[in-house]
Amino acid sequence: MNQKRIVIAGGSGFIGRVLAEEFSARNFEVIILTRAPHGRADGIREVAWNGKKLGGWVQFVDGAEAVINLAGKNINCPHTPKNVFKITASRVDSVNAIADALAQVKVPPRVWVQASAVGFYGDTGNHIRDENFPSGENTLAEICRQWEAAFDSTTVPQTRKVVLRIGFVLGRDGGALPLLSRLAKFYLGGAAGSGRQYISWIHLADLVQMFVTVVKRETLAGTFNAVAPGAVTNAEFMGELRRVLDRPWSPPAPEFAVRLGAWLFNFEPSLALVSQRCSADKFLEVDFQFQFPQLRAALENLCPKKNASPAHPP
């Protein structure tokens, strides 16, 4: 019996690496589309693509069970007009390239899972946003709006389409958590800005299972917020992280300090200062079982004490 094939565009990044390993462990043939392919010893194949044009990679899309698109330039850079153009173009171009591929192949994938982000909603303040709300008005919202508009405009009648609006992903080996943990260990893990802005977080293990769920369950289509059930404020998040790391107190970082740090270290301050409070109800309604629905358990898993083994894989 032939293996079912999963094609992951942008699969060499923080999320894609773990996702590829999960599908490989489930006996899928996994193909990663990447700008810099290299040989691997784990049975996962990397294939070259530039995220814009058709190429030899199209043959792997033909007859695939699923194509998952994670491709796009990292958003954690200053949101100058030049960088915003590159961030947006990298996302829209990858969607268009995959749509062109699906139009050519004889047997289109059964499902196309497209990554987006909860930044779609803009600054939500204290208000909870579910998938029925329109896009917000800030820069990140506009990037996500164009990203999703490109996906929505594709015509793929034989392929089920799913969008995952991904929240703040917590993992050991990527994303922002390792940096935040180092800051907290040096007593620099205070609340950022007012501390009242919300963080819609998700443990990487749960995010991976969300991708697996929407690939496997043929009744699932449309848009889902890929977040844990309980968004927390920045102050609450940093407080839990300090508790887990045995750092009970750190001075807060006022907004001007966050913006100064962003300028010095070349990152985007709005990612720390904007509120994103999103609902996970749609995944709960389809009986998705969160392994880490509570923040403290998620952080304890990812930031284990010295000489202690984590209870669950990351």
pLDDT in tens, 146-162: 999 999 999 999 999 99
CB neighbourhood size of 37 (10 A): 15
DSSP secondary structure code for residue 2 in this structure: P
* Segment 55-111, tens digit of pLDDT: 999 999 999 999 999 999 999 999 999 999 999 999 999 999 999 999 999 999 999
* Segment 272-311, tens digit of pLDDT: 999 999 999 999 999 999 999 999 999 999 997 654 444 4
Task: Report how far residue 89's alpha carbon sits from residue 224's, in angstroms, rounded to the nearest whole number.
Answer: 23
**Count of residues in the chain:** 314
Task: Report how far residue 248's alpha carbon sits from residue 205's, in angstroms, rounded to the nearest whole number.
Answer: 27
Residue 314's pLDDT band, with cuts at 50, 70 and 90, is low
Residue 46 has pLDDT above 70, yes or no: yes
What is the CA angle 162-128-136, rounded to 5? Answer: 70
Q: Give me the pLDDT at residue 134, please.
A: 97
Give which of 187, 299, 167, 182 is closest to 253, Cα–Cα: 187
Mean pLDDT of 209-218: 98
Residue 52 has pLDDT above 70, yes or no: yes
Residue 241's pLDDT band, with cuts at 50, 70 and 90, is very high
The more confidently predicted of residues 13 and 2 is 13
What is the CA angle 266-268-273, rounded to 5? Answer: 140
Backbone angles phi, psi at 238, to 5 degrees: -70, -35
Per cent of the chain over pLDDT 70 is: 96
User: Domains plus CATH for the chain?
Assistant: 5-234+266-302 (3.40.50.720)
Report the predicted TM-score, pTM, of the whole model to 2 decimal places: 0.95
Residues 6+ apart with CB under 8 A from 33: 7, 8, 9, 10, 11, 46, 47, 48, 49, 57, 60, 71
Give which of 180, 226, 171 is closest to 203, Cα–Cα: 171
Give which of 8, 11, 19, 204 is closest to 111, Cα–Cα: 8
* Segment 97-148, tens digit of pLDDT: 999 999 999 999 999 999 999 999 999 999 999 999 999 999 999 999 999 9
Mean pLDDT of 178-185: 94
Indicate if the alpha-carbon torsion angle 16, 22, 25, 31 is positive or negative.
negative
